Amino acid sequence: MSTPFANPFHAQHLQRAIKQYESGQAISAIQTLDQIFKEDPNHVRALGLVSACLSHIAKFEQALEAADRALKVEQSEPLLYTLRARALRMLGRTDDAIEAFQKAMALEPEHRSAAANIAVLLLALRRHDEAYASIEPWLDREDKGHQIAIACARCLRHRKEHARGIEILRRAMEDPGIQPGARHEVLFTLADLLDGDAQYAEAWSVLVEANKAHPAVFDSTAFNGAVDRILQGFSKEQYDKMESAAPVDGDGGGSLAPVFVLGLPRSGTTLVERILSAHPAVFAGSELETMPEFIAKAQAVARPPNPHLPQLVSMFSKPVLDQLAQAYVQRLPAPPEGDPAHLVTDKLPANLLSIPVIRKTFPDAPIIRCKRDHRDTAISCFFQHFGSRIPWPYDLKDIKTYFDASERAYEHYVGELGIDVIEVEYEALVSDPEPRVREMLDAMGLDFDAACLEHHKVQGDARTRSVEQVTKPIYTGSVERWRRYETQLAGTPVMDLPGRGV
């Protein structure tokens, strides 16, 4: 999108938004672009950039809408098709995503973003040979750019060619023009490859650099305060007084119904969802933002900090919960035509803190809590580039703060409020899957299906950062991962976290 700037005001705000986005400040960039939309709602470059920003903060439906609006104005820009494809992929519309990437490549055969993203998508679909073939022409080129470099490295990691992938990423880091946001992505990918190559000391060094450079800021005081307000508001007495929402189609009345798979990020939620989605009665909905969005809307008048957390119990009256139940079921992603599934998973980990509202909204919905050794979970979070939408994983102290507060809330929900939750321990699940899967399905009222033990054969895109793990057979390679970094973790808050079974 290289159209000359016709409006100096637009040019100024667009350049500012680009810098904010490249620095990882997607929300600030969206706010800056709003100034352009006040004058020109169909500004193509601004719509393209806002689509990228919205995808960065996991607002994929809005990202798709922005890309489509831009394409109505300009159909010959390959980047717009790439942005559309990225949103489609994360919405689970895999075939449409591939088609959009292919349109971008048809318009510009060497479009780097499209080439990189289609390779990563093919990896996610277990079409490994196709992924490698698509990226192979770029392997020895010096003009890759960071996206192609990352895609090359991920394909090479799958082929156990770690050294070559590491070299490509190191060269990408030497580019004097690399932007801060791109540098973060390369660093996290480099740390992952070094870890996969058992170069643990070097991996940790790179990982610390990646996390220190990230611009996210976590207000631990505000977060703990929000959790305190949840616990005070949802006392046993107050919770028992709350009326539940009336059943809607899907919540005991037919049609689609939700299954909530939640827990700390990287605790096994994606694995559990994939196991469940192999059952003919279950469709994978991935991470749905409906619950936190509605909770924020219900509390909008009071404007509490962390508005996506249910801090004001008085705001969740029966009419409000009725409205939430109706809206939630209506927004559940539908299985493909002919699919017999009637249960749809929502595996948004952050729903862990909203269990009381979930239970009062859907009294009969299964709630599955994934549990894993907190030290392994912490390390796994520290290795992930979550973007700016999750601010706490970039500092070990903040990780412990988030974990401790989340566990404090969960213990209150289950122990004090008596909310029924199906608990699944990650370590037990991967070491002896069948009895754990049987227990989980039985608790959900489903018959056992052997396909659940071969979840990795289910066609589809995981859409999350656990994609490469969940497209493999169940394995124990991530159990006690923290021990690889025991020396580096000595004296850090992670070593104070509880282990397995807590």
The DSSP-derived string for 98-142 is: HHHHHHHHHH-TT-HHHHHHHHHHHHHTT-HHHHHHHHGGGTT-S
132 and 269 part of one domain: no
Whether 78 and 130 map to the same domain: the answer is yes
Report the candidate in 248, 252, 259, 243 with the shortest Cα–Cα distance to residue 330.
248
Q: In this structure, what token pair is assigned to residue 158?
A: 């799958």
**Co-location of 328 and 398 in the same domain:** yes
pLDDT at residue number 334? 84
Shared-domain flag, residues 201 and 244: no
For residue 224, tell me if it sits in a domain. no
Residue 247 shares a structural domain with residue 382: yes
Kindly list the distances between the CA atom of residue 456 and the CA atoms of 101, 333, 501, in Å, as whole numbers in the listed order.
25, 21, 26
* Predicted local distance difference test score (pLDDT) of residue 20: 87
On whether residue 231 sits in a domain, the answer given is no
Q: Examine the domain organization and report whether 64 and 199 are in the same domain.
A: yes
Query: Within this chain, do residues 186 and 267 fall inside the same structural domain, yes or no?
Result: no
CA distance 76 to 63: 19
Distance from C-alpha of 290 to C-alpha of 147, rounded to nearest angstrom: 30
Buried b (16+ CB within 10 A) or exposed e, 141-163: eeebbbbbbbbbbbbbbbeebbe
Task: Specify if 229 maps to a domain.
Answer: no
pLDDT of 501 reads: 46
What integer pLDDT is reported at residue 500 of this predicted model? 56
Positive/negative CA dihedral, 316, 317, 322, 327: negative
- Residue 283 phi/psi, 5-degree rounding, is -115, 135
Asked, for residue 2, whether it belongs to a domain, the answer is: no
Identify the burial level of 345 via C-beta atoms within 10 angstroms of its C-beta, where 0-12 means exposed, 13-18 middle and 19 or more buried.
Answer: buried
> Domain containing 59 — which CATH number?
1.25.40.10
Owner of token pair 């060094």: 205
Count how many domains the chain has. Answer: 2
Task: Identify whether residues 204 and 254 lie together within a single domain.
Answer: no
What six digits make up the tokens of 120? Answer: 């990563």
In sequence order, what are the beta bridge partners of 368?
261, 422
Place of tokens 């904010």: 20
Of 172, 175, 178, 181, give the one whose Cα is nearest residue 215: 181
Residues 122 and 258 in one domain: no
Instruction: Give the DSSP letter of residue 494.
Output: G
Q: How many residues does the chain have?
A: 502
Tell me whether residue 220 is in a domain.
no
Eight-class DSSP state of 416: I
CA 295 – CA 286 distance, rounded (Å): 19
**Cα separations in angstroms, 474 against 128, 193, 197:** 19, 21, 21
**pTM, entire model:** 0.84
Residue 262 shares a structural domain with residue 158: no
Binning the chain into helix, strand and coil, the percentages to the nearest 5 are: 60, 5, 35
**Residues of 53-73 as b/e, b for ≥16 C-beta within 10 angstroms?**
bbbbbbbbebbbbbbebbbee
DSSP letter for 242, please. P
Mean pLDDT by 10 residues, the chain (502 residues): 65 91 84 93 94 86 95 95 91 89 93 91 90 95 93 96 97 91 93 97 97 90 96 96 87 75 95 95 90 91 88 94 94 86 95 97 97 96 88 96 97 97 96 96 97 77 47 66 95 86 46
388: which 2 tokens?
């700016």
Domain membership flag for residue 484: yes
Domain assignment present for 366: yes
Residue 468 lies in a domain: yes
Cα 186 versus chain centre, distance: 18
Q: Are 186 and 178 in contact (CB under 8 A)?
A: yes
Residues 359 and 466 in one domain: yes
Could you tell me the CATH number of the domain that includes residue 452? 3.40.50.300
- Residue 502's pLDDT is 46
Structure tokens at 238: 């107050």
Domain span including residue 70: 8-213
